[in-house]
């Protein structure tokens, strides 16, 4: 059974949340799904993943970051102004607030159990950076995750500063989506601090699951290898999946699963069964 919630943050922003396995909230650990860039909680595999783990007894939370471009319409990018003003630091802050809400019994007086994160792509990086700050996160699974936040050439940055924004194209929706200078400033200001991904992984000291498709064109397999090189090998699992890409063969809207994605889910479940129970 699922139920929707809205959490108002300290910045008076709204996090739209769907809790799956609400009946499990006092019985088992909590898994939080963290979406990536141009992603959202109801994209493609989001509900499928959540139901998968809920059916195995977990309490699962999916949510939209306040500035991911998705508002009241849960499947269309209607808040492009907010999307333009998003930053990595804001997403870390909001994930922390969601975890605090869970720990304070926000979900119908839920009991506090262990917490695991599943982050996809940029959401994996946000999960790792947040885990550096929040000790109550017990284990982290990252899928198709980036190893660097600064993904722009010097020429792109120069044009970004001149224009005041950087434009990305959403090939699925055919929308041109702007990123304001605030994102670049966040990267440059905090690269050695809150956004230092190498340091976050090296100091994680909690079980880590890394999964990546060898045909990933959005985040090369080398980025997963980089994350693994930083990790504590004694408590890290690293899986490469052949003949699959950034979303492991899943599209939006969701049509059906596939053998590779089912294997990914199964390996992730085994990881959480071992580290959250």
Terminal C-alpha separation, the chain:
21
Going from the C-alpha of 70 to that of each of 77, 84, 86, the distances in angstroms are 5, 12, 12
Is residue 184 within 8 Å of 160, Cβ to Cβ? Answer: yes
Classify 238 as helix, strand or coil: strand
**Alpha-carbon distances of 62 from 21, 30, 180, 193, rounded to whole Å:** 11, 11, 26, 27
Residue identified by tokens 């959540």 is: 50
pLDDT tier at 257 (50, 70, 90 boundaries)? very high
Whose structure tokens read 């949510």?
63
Per-residue pLDDT band for 89 (boundaries 50, 70, 90) equals very high
pLDDT in tens, 183-225: 999 999 999 999 999 999 999 999 999 999 999 999 999 999 9
pTM (two decimals): 0.98
Q: What is the pLDDT of residue 44?
A: 98
Q: Is the CB of residue 123 less than 8 Å from the CB of residue 34?
A: yes
Q: Is the peptide bond before 253 cis (omega within 30 degrees of 0)?
A: yes
Tell me the average pLDDT of the chain.
Answer: 98
Q: What is the pLDDT of residue 95?
A: 98
Per-residue pLDDT reduced to its tens digit, 106-133: 999 999 999 999 999 999 999 999 999 9
Instruction: Say what the pLDDT of residue 3 is.
Output: 98
| Residue-range domains of the chain with CATH | 2-149+194-276 (3.40.50.1820)
Are the C-beta atoms of 81 and 177 separated by less than 8 Å? no
How far apart are the C-alpha atoms of 146 and 157, rounded to whole Å?
Answer: 19
pLDDT attached to residue 80: 98
The confidence band for 135, taking pLDDT boundaries of 50, 70 and 90, is very high
At residue 125, the 3 state secondary structure works out as: helix
Q: Above pLDDT 90, what percent of the chain?
A: 100
Residue-wise pLDDT for 47-85, tens only, equals: 999 999 999 999 999 999 999 999 999 999 999 999 999
| Residues paired with 85 in a beta bridge | none
pLDDT of residue 223: 98
Question: In this predicted structure, what is the pLDDT of residue 216?
Answer: 98
């Amino acid at each position: 059974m699922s139920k929707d919630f809205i959490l108002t943050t300290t910045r008076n922003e709204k996090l739209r949340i769907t809790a799956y396995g609400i009946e499990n909230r006092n019985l088992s650990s909590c898994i939080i799904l963290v979406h990536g860039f141009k992603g959202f909680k109801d994209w493609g595999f989001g509900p499928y993943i959540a139901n998968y783990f809920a059916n195995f007894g977990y309490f699962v939370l999916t949510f939209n970051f306040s500035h991911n471009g998705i508002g009241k319409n849960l499947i269309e990018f209607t808040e492009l102004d907010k999307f333009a003003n998003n930053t990595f630091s804001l997403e870390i802050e909001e994930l922390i607030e969601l975890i605090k809400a869970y720990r304070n019994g926000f979900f119908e007086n839920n009991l506090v159990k262990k917490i695991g994160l599943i982050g996809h792509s940029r959401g994996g990086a946000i999960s790792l950076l947040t885990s550096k700050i929040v000790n109550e996160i017990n284990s982290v699974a990252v899928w198709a995750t980036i190893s660097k936040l600064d993904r722009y050439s010097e020429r792109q940055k120069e044009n970004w500063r001149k224009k005041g924004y950087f434009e990305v194209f959403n090939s699925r929706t055919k929308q041109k989506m702007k990123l304001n200078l605030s994102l670049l400033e966040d990267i440059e200001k905090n690269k050695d601090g809150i956004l230092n991904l190498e340091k976050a992984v090296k100091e994680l000291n909690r079980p880590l699951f890394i999964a990546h498709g060898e045909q990933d064109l959005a985040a090369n397999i080398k980025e997963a290898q980089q994350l693994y090189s930083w990790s504590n090998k004694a408590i890290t699992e690293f899986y490469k999946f052949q003949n699959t890409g950034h979303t492991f063969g899943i599209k939006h809207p969701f049509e059906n699963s596939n053998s590779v994605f089912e294997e990914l889910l199964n390996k992730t479940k085994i990881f959480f069964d071992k580290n959250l129970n």
